[in-house]
Amino acid sequence: MSHLRDLCSRLLRFLFPSAMQHLRGLCWEVSWRRSNFAPKWSNRGVSPEIVEAMETGWLPAHGAVLDIGCGLGEVAAWFSERAYTTVAIDISKSAVRKGRMKHKHLSSPPELIVLDICAARPPDRQYGILIDRGCLHQIPREEIPNYVRNVAQVAGPSARMLLFVKAFRNGQPFGDLAERQRQISWVSKAFAGVFTFERVSETYLDRHQGRDPDTALPGLVFWLTRIPAVPQLQK
């Protein structure tokens, strides 16, 4: 039965892509509109990998930042406090509204924008830093090329991206090599010709960083580097 539901869902997304995009946005809007919406991955501050990438110099010390699927914009605000020009996008109007209220006290708050990354390109700033802490793995597989295309169009020539994806779920042990390789293959294929990954490591996407077994959300983080575009020869 679950296989049939999945097949029907894929068929509907193929036949009515705009309607399915609207439905996905509506589902997130309904969730974020609730005053008590508090999923396991919320209120987690800034991931240690982002701090590490900054402190080691892997991320550039200045420039423009794009926070993809920002939620309330905690990551974007963290970069704004460090003098980066920061844009944060989310599909939910309520998430963006709440995020703007939450960070309006900052001297230079991030620019939070309602945008579906699969349907539209973010503001063109040629971002040197891109962060996705759980947006990509929420997107139907057939729409991932749209995501990658829209991200690629605004990524600077030497952009760096930290991509967090869920992994090691449904009974798979944390760190399982086969699961790790499956995720590496998926990400490599999705970003082929656009980004290459320098490293990948296990992580947790929940607010307790895996310390609470009841709320643990294991995953992987990819450290991606933009592949320079090859200039087109004029005829």
Alpha-carbon gap, residue 57 to 220, rounded angstroms: 21
Question: CB of 141 within 8 A of CB of 13?
Answer: no
- pLDDT above 60 (res 16): no
Secondary structure of the chain as H, E, C letters: CHHHHHHHHHHHHHHCHHHHHHHHHHHHHHHHHCCCCCCCCCCCCCCHHHHHHHHCCCCCCCCEEEEECCCCCHHHHHHHCCCCEEEEEECCHHHHHHHHHHHCCCCCCCEEEECCCCCCCCCCCCEEEEEECCCHHHCCHHHHHHHHHHHHCCEEEEEEEEEEEECCCCCCCCCCHHHHHHHHHHHHHHCCCCEEEEEEEEEECCCCCCCCCCCCCEEEEEEEEECCCCCCCCC
Burial of 176-192, coded b for 16+ CB within 10 Å and e otherwise, reads eeebbeebeebbeebbe
Specify the pairing of strand 127-132 against strand 85-90. Answer: unpaired
pLDDT at 230: 60
CATH class as words, domain 38-226: alpha beta
pLDDT at 58: 97
**pLDDT one-digit tens code per residue, 78-102:** 999 999 999 999 999 999 999 999 9
Alpha-carbon gap, residue 65 to 67, rounded angstroms: 7
Mean pLDDT estimate for the chain: 89
- pLDDT above 70 (res 52): yes
Alpha-carbon gap, residue 124 to 146, rounded angstroms: 16
Alpha-carbon gap, residue 222 to 183, rounded angstroms: 10
Question: Virtual CA dihedral for 58, 138, 111, 194, nearest 10 degrees?
Answer: 50
- pLDDT above 50 (res 2): no
Specify the pairing of strand 195-204 against strand 218-226. Answer: antiparallel
Question: CB of 94 within 8 A of CB of 27?
Answer: no
pLDDT at 38: 86
**pLDDT one-digit tens code per residue, 121-170:** 998 889 999 999 999 999 988 899 999 999 999 999 999 999 999 999 98
pLDDT at 19: 54
Q: Residue 160 carries which side chain, given as an amino acid letter?
A: R
